Amino acid sequence: MSRDVNSPYPSLILASQSPRRRQLLADAGYDFIVTPPSESAESGLRGDESPEEMVSELARRKAFDVVGRVGHGIVVSCDTVAECGGRILGKPSDREHARRMLHWLEGNEHRVLSGLCLWRAGTSRYAVAVSVTRLVMESLTDSRIEDYLASGQWRGKAGAFGYQDGHDWLRVLEGSESNVVGLPLELLREMLGMFDRE
């Protein structure tokens, strides 16, 4: 990626395979490279974690996995889930799973949580924080759900929806819109600023 001369931050290493996270970072003008974490970085959770604990721990594990493979810069990792009524909704495994998620969410307020970890390569210095966005999804007809499922836009997205796709049936009530897409840019700027001051 080309360096934004206005960016006050050092080179970033994005520990993610998400095209949406890459696009958000690029659009925000950050200089970064992509080094995805191994699949094993996401395994071995207890299963009784709160959504906040889960996304924090997964973000930390992803950063830890990548930080040992890079020489310098700041590793940025993120993990995002949706949560509705105490039920954690990650990425749907198939179309039927996506349908169930949409039925759980429709007509309800829910949250999108992202754990964000920054880890300075070559050190043991890292920070983890969580961004929470409150949303509401309007009630959907069965035909609207089926049309959406047929589009395939649910694939690879926590809660089976993509806010960035511009659907008029999703509305942010409070919090970061970029968090809903998969990377809370406001929190990233704040954390990078803290790293620079220390």
Which of 4, 27, 48, 79 is flagged as catalytic?
Answer: 79
Instruction: State which residues of the chain have pLDDT below 50.
Output: 1-9
* Contact status, residue 129 vs residue 116, Cβ threshold 8 Å: yes
Phi and psi angles of residue 179, each rounded to the nearest 5 degrees, phi first? -60, -40
**What pLDDT score does 49 carry?**
85
pTM: 0.86
Is 79 considered catalytic here? yes
Delineate the domains of the chain, giving CATH numbers in brackets. Answer: 12-197 (3.90.950.10)
Q: ∠ CA 140-167-111 to the nearest 5 degrees?
A: 75
Short-list 9, 22, 14, 16, CA closest to 164 = 22
Beta strand 170-174 with 32-34: parallel, antiparallel or unpaired? unpaired
Which residue do the tokens 């993509």 mark? Answer: 162
**What pLDDT score does 91 carry?**
87
* Contact status, residue 120 vs residue 77, Cβ threshold 8 Å: no
Helices (H), the chain: 19-27, 51-67, 95-105, 142-151, 177-181, 185-197
- pLDDT digits 0-9 by tens, 124-175: 999 999 999 999 999 999 999 999 999 999 998 888 888 888 888 899 999 9
